[in-house]
Structures are given as C-alpha cells and as structure tokens.
Chains A and B, each alone.
Chain A
Amino acid sequence: MQRFKWLVPTLYIIFLMLPIYWLLNMSFKTTNEILGTFSLWPREFTLENYRTIFTDSTWYNGYFNSITYVVLNTVISVTVALPAAYAFSRYRFLGDKHLFFWLLTNRMAPPAVFALPFFQLYSAVGLFDTPLAVALAHALFNIPLAVWILEGFMSGIPRELDDTAYVDGYSFPRFFFKIFIPTIASGIGVTAFFTFMFSWVELLLAKTLTSVAAKPIAATMTKTASTSGYELGLLAAAGVLTIIPGAIVIYFVRNYIAKGFAMGRV
C-alpha cells in the first residue's frame, strides 16, 4: 500500500489539470489543427492567437472593461461593507439580527431576476453600457456577502481592543483606520477576493447591462464563435488569459481563505 500512496493525489491532479492543459494546448494551435487532428501537443506551434488578442481593440478592451468594473465593484463593496459590518458586530439595535439575516435575501434569487429591472433603471438614468452600471449591479450581491464575511472577522476581535485604543488616547476614526483595519486586514483580503470572484465570473448581468463601450471579456468570448466561422484557437487563448487574474488574486489570499472557511462564514 505504502508504495502506491502517490497514486490517488496524482490521479486527482491529472484530472484537475487536464481541462486547463487542453485549453492551453488549444491556444497555441491553429483553428485548422484543432478541428482537423487529434494532437496532445501543438504540431504547428503559434502565438498568432495571443497576438490577435493583444492587438485587436475589441479583444483587449474586453479585458480592460472587465477589470475596470470588477475593481470598481470590489472597492465599492468593501468600502460600504466595512462600516456596516462594524455596526453589526459592535452595536445592538432594534432588529439587528433580522436585518443581518435578511441582507442575504438578494442572494436567494438568481441574478437573472434582477436583469430586467436593472436594464430598465440604468437605461432611464443613463448608466447603461458603463462599467459603473455593472459594478453597481454586482454590488447588490456582493455587499451582503462582504458584510457577512467581515462581520465574522470583526466579531473575532475582542471589544476590548476598541476600548483600549480609546483609553490609550485614540479617537474613533483614528482607531478605525490605524488599528482596526490593519488588524482585520486578512478579513478584508478574503472579502475582496470573494467579491472579485463573483464579479469576475458573473456573465448574465454584465452582458445585459452593456452593449459596446463597456462590453466585458466574457461577453466578447461568447460572440466570436459565430462571426467569421470558428476561431477556436483565439477563444482558447482568450480563455487562458481570463484564468490569469483570478489565479493571481487567489495566490495572494490563499492563506487567509483557510481562516475564513474555519470561521464558517465563507
């Protein structure tokens, strides 16, 4: 038995990596090779797909738009959720527990439910087809989640920390920014990660609320299949590039996420 200990993890990793490898593999092939032959590695190695993405503005603008609204959304969500979570963790007020629970109601319905109202509303106020529109729409789902995660981290910090800082001569704003926020930095990291992820992978709202100027990369990817025949190599390259931002973000918060899971809030 001892000799085959490596077997299960190896198989697991192979299954895990196979789709990613295949995507990578495809991204270096020409569309003809993808459609014509079955090859485990590119026969005619080409970087043409990547070159297209980095030079064609409809492609790289997609990334640019996506990253803009995702970052905007993360910043809005965390900024709004921080004071809210502080209030829920430190103060008792009428109906606080109910409010805290019902914050999650927006997450009880699929985003599609809100697509039409958002579309109508944003068209009316002139926000349609802007990164801010998507960021705000995603904030509807992300702020409650962010409040929940942050509240968990904040409640893990004893109240006495607040009290000690006041006694030691800090006012509330100084305490909040200079001591409290650095203390829950890992919680903020985890929260930012989850809001980032939701916004980065969400397609329906992002697609509905944009047309040309703020079109996200995921929307671009769904359309290319039908314009000039099949461009599978190009799509694969776009897919590879879409994985990268998520991978970078998850790398930075990998240690904190375990902590977040341990608190049962994530």
Chain B
Amino acid sequence: MAHITLQDLKHSYNERPEDDDDWALKHLSFECEDGGAYALLGPSGCGKTTLLNIISGLLIPTEGRVLFDGKDVTGLMPDQRNIAQVFQFPVVYDTMSVYDNLAFPLRNRGLAGEAVDQRVRQIAAMIDLTDTLHQRAAGLSADGKQKISLGRGLVRADVNVIMFDEPLTVIDPHLKWQLRSKLKELHQQVGTTMIYVTHDQTEALTFADKVVVMYDGAVVQIGTPVELFEKPQHTFVGHFIGSPGMNILSCELDNGKPVLAGEVISANPIKQTPPTGTNLEIGIRPEFIHFAKSGLAVKIVRTSDAGHFSIVETLHKDQSIKLLVPEGAEIPTENAFIEFDKAHTQIYADSQIIT
C-alpha cells in the first residue's frame, strides 16, 4: 500500500524524439492516494499501458520521476518495487500447476508452508479455481488462464499497488460482472491501491473511486464518475463518457453569452473570456436537454428506442443535437423546440472548459 506520485512524466519509444508525435506520454503528473481505486480510461493508443508499465518499472520514463510514499523508485527494477500487475492477455507459467502459479509470487518473497497454502486457497475460492487447483495450468481455457493471472495479481497482501491492464478483455460477459464486483469487494477488504486500465467506460466508472481520463498521451481529467459526467473538463471527456456522448456544438460569444446560430443560449457563466480566434463550443449532455414550448427550433431526424428512454436525434440549422426522452413522454413531430438545462450547459474554448 502506497501513495503514488507521478512527477512530470514524459516518455518516448524513440531514442531521439523530435516532434510532438514521437511522445507516447506528453508531460503528465498526478497522484494516487494510498488505498484508492483508480481507473485509467482512454481510447486505444492513448498511452495507458505505457503509463502502467512506467509505474510497474517495466519501462523507464524518458523524463520525470515515480515516487512510492515519497521515495523515488524511478530507477528500481519491477521485482524491487513490490507491486503486482495483471496483463490484458492471460499469462501463466505453463510448466506449473494452477496451485504453483498462484503460490509463485508468495514463494518468491520468502513465504512458505502454511501461510502460502492458506492464501492460495483463499484466492482460489474467490475466483472459482478451487476445483482445478492441481491441474496443469497449460490445459485451461483462455478465461481460466486469465483467472490465474488475476489470482496471481491478488495473492500477495503486502504489495504497494496492484495494476490491471484491461484484465477482463478475454473473459465471458456474464463472468465479467462477477469478477469486477469481486475485485471491488476485495479492494474494500484489503484497501490496496489499485490501478485499473480500460477503454470501457462502464468498467472504469463502476470499479473506480477516481477515473483518470487520458487522451493522446496526456491526462485530460481526473475525477469521480459524477464529476466526469456532469462537468467534463475537456470535450473529449464529454464525448467519450456517456452513451450517447455529449453534444458539442460550435458557437460564438456575444457579451459573455454563447450564441448558437443566432440564438442566445443561457449557460454557466464564463470564468475568463478567451482570446478572439479560439474555437468555441457549447457542450451539453443529451440527459440535460428536454422538449419545451419555446426555445431552439429543431427538426426531428430519428428516434431510437433504448429501453427506459428514447434517443432523439434532432437538427438545429445544420448542427445535430441528441437528447434523451424518458419512456412514455411525448415526442413532438412538428414545430419542436428544445431547451438546455442551464446548470449543465458548459462552454469550451479550444476543447478546454471555460465555465
């Protein structure tokens, strides 16, 4: 268990990085509190795995430092950092039995006998491997092997941090739920710092206390799931989180008020007026738009039913706006008007929030 500090990290896989594109991580600093459950969320190729490998010591960052409890570990090898890591694809030691696989990290730290046995059985029971404990690991199915990987990550109680790199990719959907809630449960029991990398927002939002959203080698927002939902700091976050994502509508400013194609919109007040020439956008989640008697005139393009609500796609001038309508509510066909919920209407300048 440790407090993890990442200071001014930069990493490039090129030996002599020249332009911006050579950097897999572009200047990144953040802290993980002791005992927190963190999720690194972002699209494929945004640098999540690179960051994880830097924390575990498999990669040495080009610049910057990694601190565990204030102690600089940047130069330490993975085996000296006292961590556990679970990878996306199952990794098992084929030549050992399931039991020996699970016991391996414990034995490497000098544990023996009863202590190992007890812990291995406890973990095996948790991930449903008790029946296969004495089989050879090589003979198991892909999700069986991944369970071993998970188990091996969880088996040591004294690690600084456990890292998961998209660990549930190869697991069956029904088992995913089960394993995720088990992980969550275990986190509450032992309170180890956990970092969970994923590109699946449901996984990130259900697992983590705090979600770190990454985009193109940089952190765009760190926050609780609610913060990410209600106040995205970056249009990418708004777009990436939520289904459907945030409506991003290009607009202009007039006396500090956003103007959307000639109509003034009421939004959160702007904290700082951006310089002229920046690209201005309104961000509003479909959840916070509703039909009204007056407001923005829109044309309804399509309605799709999504269970408890319908997603209505509308067109205002040439900008598409999506909104969510609860089940049973009436959807106007002609002369439709929509209204934005003022408290949840944000303004972005060059993709960064300014409200």
Contacts and interface: CB of A to CB of B under 8 A. Distances in A.
Contacts of A171: 77, 79
B10 interface: no
Chain B CB within 10 A, most for which of A160, A171, A185: A160
Contacts of A165: 93
A31 B159 CA distance: 78
Contacts, number: 56
A167 B104 CA distance: 11
A184 to B, nearest CB: 10
Contact of B109 (A158, A164, A169): A169
Given A158-B89, A160-B87, A166 B95 contact: no
Contact of A183 (B84, B95, B109): B95
Contact of B58 (A158, A166, A169, A185): A166
B307 to A, nearest CB: 38
Interface string A139-169: 0000000000000000000101101111111
Contacts of A167: 56, 58, 78-79, 83-85
B161 to A, nearest CB: 11
The contact size tier of chain B is: 20 to 34
Q: How large is the interface on A (under 10, 10 to 19, 20 to 34, 35 or more residues)?
A: 10 to 19
Interface string A171-187: 10000000100110100
Interface of A: 158, 160-161, 163-171, 179, 182-183, 185
B67 interface: no
Nearest to B149: A164
Contacts of B152: 164, 168
Interface string B73-88: 0000111000111011
B105 interface: yes
A164 B95 contact: no
A163 B58 CA distance: 7
B91 interface: yes
A165 B56 CA distance: 12
